[in-house]
Amino acid sequence: MNTNMKTRLLLLGVLLAGLAQAQQTEVRIYDGAAPGSETWNWTEKKNNKNAINLMTVYNVVNPTLTVFPADPALATGTSVVICPGGGFHFLSIDSEGNDVAKCLAKKGVTAFVLKYRTARINTDDPFADMMAGIDGPRKQEWDAENKATIPLSMADGRAAIAYVRKHAATYGVDPNKIGIMGFSAGGTVTAGAVFGYNADNKPAFAAPIYAFFPAAMQGNLPTDAPPMFLVCASDDQLNLAPHSVDLYNTWLAAKKPTELHLYAKGGHGFGMNKQNLPSDGWIERFAEWLAQQGFIKPSHTEHANR
């Protein structure tokens, strides 16, 4: 075999290895039907046919995790379960899920995007349905659907952490460095995971992002509660900033590590969308916090600023 052929084969091998690394694996977190919804038999759907072209997944029956492996050069064993938002009726799967995972994977975090159970809806436009439900003709029905669904969604968040911990060796992650983060309704799932956990599903850190989690939902904070990172905007259209402040004050009073970023502008649901506002940089602040807490390696910029 001549030198040129060997070089081409080597390059092909590197390319195939890169493609394999780029492929994501989706796995179910329960063996069999999810507990509490065994009779659900509708079909999960996905589309972006709505007023803001938001990619949505809805009618989720079987919760799954999609795995985004960490950059091997930066990996420290830290992983995070990411819970997209969508009012418990759909999941904003890209801007609050896959796009977040891709960014964090480049920073050395193995990311697992969770599709948790959502309420059943009979429409191909989940976003319009949400608008009708938040403060419209479907509000009473919407609230009742959420009341029934939230406990299932929160159970899926805890089960996702337990799944990653059980299979930590498979994914090359540290079972003691599994965190959880989520947006809006996914923030409810996230914050819920830090109340009432056990050894199997305790998160190493939590990051509720513009979370719906009123003080009335808070239980007794465990004495070994994990560090918490919080983000919201003061002009959040759902007025969720006080929820983040309440969580921050709870952690502060308990003398637990916590950090709150409350931006003047940003609205609700900004996720990874670029608005040319300071809130666009929230994920960099999150990465800096993870580095300060010892979960990831500091960036070159952080080294230069020290």
With beta carbons less than 8 A apart as the criterion, state whether 120 and 42 touch. yes
Q: What is the mean pLDDT of residues 86-106?
A: 97
Look at residue 65 in the predicted model and tell me its pLDDT: 98
With beta carbons less than 8 A apart as the criterion, state whether 44 and 60 touch. yes
pTM, to two decimals? 0.91
The string of pLDDT tens digits covering residues 209-238 is: 999 999 999 999 999 999 999 999 999 999
Structure-token pair, residue 188: 């409810």
CA torsion 34→40→41→43, rounded to 10°? -80
| 3-state SS string for 224-257 | CCCCEEEEEECCCCCCCHHHHHHHHHHHHHCCCC
Look at residue 272 in the predicted model and tell me its pLDDT: 98
Residue with tokens 């989520």: 182
Cα distance between residue 292 and residue 176, in whole Å: 17
State which amino acid sits at residue 100.
V
Q: Say whether pLDDT at 86 is over 60.
A: yes
How many other CB atoms are found less than 10 A from the CB of residue 237?
10
Domain positions in the chain: 25-304
Cα distance between residue 93 and residue 296, in whole Å: 24
Q: Which CATH superfamily is domain 25-304 in?
A: Alpha/Beta hydrolase fold, catalytic domain (3.40.50.1820)
H or E element that contains 131: helix 126-135
Give me the DSSP letters along 206-219. Answer: EEEES----GGG--
Look at residue 13 in the predicted model and tell me its pLDDT: 38
Q: Say whether pLDDT at 106 is over 70.
A: yes
R_g (Cα) of the chain, nearest Å: 20
Confidence of residue 285 (pLDDT cuts 50, 70, 90): very high
Look at residue 50 in the predicted model and tell me its pLDDT: 86
The string of pLDDT tens digits covering residues 17-70 is: 343 344 579 999 999 999 999 999 999 999 998 888 899 999 999 999 999 999
Q: What is the mean pLDDT of residues 112-127?
A: 95
Q: What is the mean pLDDT of residues 228-255?
A: 98
Class of residue 227 by CB neighbours under 10 A (exposed 0-12, middle 13-18, buried 19+):
buried
Q: Say whether pLDDT at 2 is over 80.
A: no
Structure-token pair, residue 217: 């939902």
Q: Say whether pLDDT at 301 is over 80.
A: no
How many other CB atoms are found less than 10 A from the CB of residue 22?
11
